[in-house]
Amino acid sequence: MQKLYQRIGTVEIVISAIFLSLCCLLIFFSALARSVGKPINWSQDFSLFLFAWSVFLSGDVAFRKDKLVRVELIVNYFSPRTARIVCALCYLIILAFLIALVYYGIKLSIISSKRVFQGIPGFSYTWVTISVPLGSVLMLSTLVRKFFHLIKKNKTDPAGEEKQ
């Protein structure tokens, strides 16, 4: 199970990096093409698709590596036990938010299934909106692992990393 989790993490990194790079390149070439009078009509829509997927996959990558923004200034003054409790409460808030994102993301994906991009006929908007629940499910799996690690380990800091 650990190998599968690590493999998924590696795939997320590769896909999010490729999608973000392609998004930037597409916007750049679209601007060049527009400046010479040959606009690429589908570039904005496809860039939106690439960006949405890179955002949600990268969110999980950042969460896995503890690179999300944290305010440690206050928590550093707490005792280790209190810091763990605060961390657990934050994880529960994040859990509720991610469950809401999965639920409403699925609803949005179903609703938008008939909607197509203006510049890309036949390409459903669902391919963009499905990135929300899928990315949230990936973050949920990371959150559950972090939460159990926080509960299981007594000698951890609020980030879930072992102290030396």
What is the residue-wise DSSP string for 111-146? Answer: HGGG-B-SSSTT-BTHHHHTHHHHHHHHHHHHHHHH
What's the confidence (pLDDT) of residue 154?
Answer: 58
Query: How many whole angstroms separate alpha carbon 53 and alpha carbon 47?
Result: 10
Write the pLDDT tens digit of every residue in 65-121. 988 887 778 888 888 889 889 889 999 999 999 999 999 999 999 998 888 877 677
What's the confidence (pLDDT) of residue 125?
Answer: 85
Phi, psi angle pair for 124, to nearest 5°: -70, 145
Query: How many whole angstroms separate alpha carbon 64 and alpha carbon 47?
Result: 25
Write the pLDDT tens digit of every residue in 47-61. 989 999 999 999 999
Q: How many residues does the chain have?
A: 164
Query: How many whole angstroms separate alpha carbon 19 and alpha carbon 103?
Result: 25
What's the confidence (pLDDT) of residue 156?
Answer: 46
Residue of higher predicted confidence among 117 and 44: 44
Q: What is the pTM of this model?
A: 0.83
